[in-house]
């Protein structure tokens, strides 16, 4: 996989530095709250911090990109960045854990790598359908069900996008509004990209086969129930977070705790 295969890069450098680099897989919520990668970049001065975000690539002409391809593109871009010396830390937050593991496994072939999975989650049918219903409900009462997830992935994503477009068109017609689709087009593309990423995670049944020599740690507020999909319990370390972490924007306290995990000791 090379950079030219995607419409957009999946890796963005946030800060310079010559110490051990950090790659953070996190995704922008529909809010102005800072992202984990941005907060770590501010906190860890002098450390090169990179943001992994394939939503841009998934918002282009390709409706669906398998998780291994996204990870390969990210690793390729990082290796060309010139900041690949020393131990590499790859941080995955929530549903980005699978792509973080794949990136870490690719990089671990030639250098020491630590994967930190923060509140790790693994997309499944329930999560994809839940998010589809949530986004559909933004346009009014959700009356249509999620397309069959077992079909061709690109066709599944196209069908999801078509449902959103149909709902916006119906909403505009019902209220006598013209040109409404243009106002919602960017939002629909964002929904489509995020659902395509979750679908890629749901379809990635062998992600942990590529973990290789990566050191894996799960940071969680539920240590008794946390799991790293595909790995036995003795293959990764569990570190309990100091406080319960509710869903929503990343809290500064969580960022500070993660920072302590990647600072020299």
Within the chain, strands assigned E span 11-15, 22-25, 49-52, 88-93, 113-118, 215-220, 237-240
Q: Which residue has the tokens 């049918």?
A: 125
Q: What is the pLDDT of residue 3?
A: 44
Cα 10–chain centre separation? 10
pTM: 0.91
Taking residues 112-128, report their average pLDDT: 95
Between 249 and 162, name the one with better pLDDT.
162
Taking residues 179-183, report their average pLDDT: 60
Residues 55 and 161: beta-carbon distance below 8 Å: no
Say how far apart CA 147 and CA 158 lie, in whole Å.
Answer: 10
As a whole number, the mean pLDDT across the chain is 88
Say how far apart CA 206 and CA 32 lie, in whole Å.
Answer: 35
| Res. 170: pLDDT tops 90 | no
Beta bridge partners of residue 23, listed in sequence order: 50, 90
Cα 53–chain centre separation? 6
Confidence tier at 183 by pLDDT (50, 70, 90): low
Confidence tier at 30 by pLDDT (50, 70, 90): low
- Closest by Cα among 13, 35, 33 to 23: 13
- Closest by Cα among 220, 209, 217, 260 to 236: 217
Paired tokens of 16: 């310079």
How crowded is residue 56: how many other Cβ atoms within 10 Å of its Cβ? Answer: 14
Cα 77–chain centre separation? 17
- Closest by Cα among 182, 128, 122 to 160: 128
pLDDT in tens, 184-218: 888 899 999 999 999 999 999 875 666 778 899 99
Does the CA dihedral 208-130-132-30 come out positive or negative?
Answer: negative
Q: Are strands 49-52 and 11-15 parallel, antiparallel or unpaired?
A: antiparallel
How crowded is residue 224: how many other Cβ atoms within 10 Å of its Cβ? Answer: 7
Query: Which span out of 27-31, 181-185, 191-195, 249-253 was modeled with the highest average pLDDT?
Result: 191-195
């Amino acid at each position: 996989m090379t950079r030219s295969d995607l419409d957009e890069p999946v890796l963005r450098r946030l800060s310079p530095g010559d110490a051990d680099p950090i790659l953070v897989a996190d995704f922008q919520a529909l809010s102005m709250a800072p992202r984990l990668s941005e907060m770590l970049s501010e906190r860890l001065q002098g450390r090169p911090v990179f943001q992994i975000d394939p939503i841009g690539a998934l918002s282009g002409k390709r409706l669906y990109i398998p998780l291994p391809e996204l990870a390969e593109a990210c690793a390729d871009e990082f290796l060309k960045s010139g900041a690949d010396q020393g131990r590499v830390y790859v941080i995955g937050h929530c549903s980005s854990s699978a792509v973080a593991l794949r990136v870490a496994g690719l990089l671990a072939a030639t250098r020491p790598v630590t994967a930190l999975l923060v509140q790790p989650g693994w997309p499944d049918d329930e999560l994809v359908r839940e998010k589809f219903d949530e986004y559909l409900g933004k346009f009014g009462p959700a009356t249509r069900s999620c397309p069959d997830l077992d079909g061709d992935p690109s066709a599944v994503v196209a069908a999801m996008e078509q449902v959103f477009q149909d709902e916006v068109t119906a909403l505009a017609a019902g209220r006598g509004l013209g040109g409404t689709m243009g106002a919602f087009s960017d939002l629909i593309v964002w929904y489509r990209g995020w659902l395509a990423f979750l679908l890629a995670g749901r379809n990635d049944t062998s992600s942990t086969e590529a973990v290789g020599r990566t050191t894996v740690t799960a940071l969680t507020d539920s240590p008794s129930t946390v799991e790293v999909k595909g790995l036995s319990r003795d293959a990764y370390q569990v570190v309990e977070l100091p406080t319960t972490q509710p869903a929503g924007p990343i809290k500064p306290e969580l960022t500070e705790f993660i920072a302590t995990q990647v600072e020299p000791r």
